[in-house]
Structure 1
Amino acid sequence: MFGKPTSEVRDRSESYISSTLKITGTIYCNGILRIDGTLEGNVEGEGHLIVGRTAHIKGDIRMKSVTNLGTIEGNLFCTDVIELLEGSKLLGDVNLETSRFRIEENVTFSGRSKTNLKTLAKQQ
């Protein structure tokens, strides 16, 4: 707990939910939030969500960007980027305002991916 952080991503985290916590309800965050515990509810805000390897989220996520290393059961709504890193699971749909959707090898993704074409046309 007082040693070196385990990863660069955790270094930048402004808020942290540890693997020993289980939360029920909606979380609002406009900064960088890392979840390593269990959440039964939604995450909303304008920041970046990091879902750690031990995390399990059951609910929808509406954030600027999401990096997933754990398990998400719900839909993602993002305006910047979604990353599904090796070993992660996403059981739900992806709704993007940009075309920045990255999936690494050994990821479980069961759902649909939808990009807002009007937003993409404005970006080009």
Structure 2
Amino acid sequence: MSIKNFKGNVDASYLKEMAKLLEDIKDTSYQMMNLTPGTTTLDIGCGPGVDAYEMAKIVGKEGKVIGLDNDPEMIKDAQENFIAANLEFTIGDVKNLPFNDGYFDSVRADKLFQVLPPDLILTRSSKK
């Protein structure tokens, strides 16, 4: 699938192609997360695992990256294509994260906010 011919289907191949196009931006986001060897991070809405795999390279064998997505097909694709000792993919719900508070040094959600239902997105007016 070509990005210029995108017809509205967000599948693993589309997300992988977008990751290539946005590589510089993603690298900047990893730097802003202060990813270093030994850190533990969560990639919420990890999709096919491209970003989680890149982060796993940065945190090294002393660190850990968990990719979480609610789509079993995305998790299956991630598990088949990105394998590392410090990388784990799991099915989960952003509304009910199965982790203790403070477990992660950093958390990343890239395109997740584009697909969340409106009742989960906080706005300035809803904080009042």
What is the TM-score of this pair, normalised by structure 1? 0.29
- Larger fraction in strand: 1
Larger radius of gyration: 2
| Greater RCO (Cα-Cα under 8 Å, separation 6 or more) | 2
What is the TM-score of this pair, normalised by structure 2? 0.28
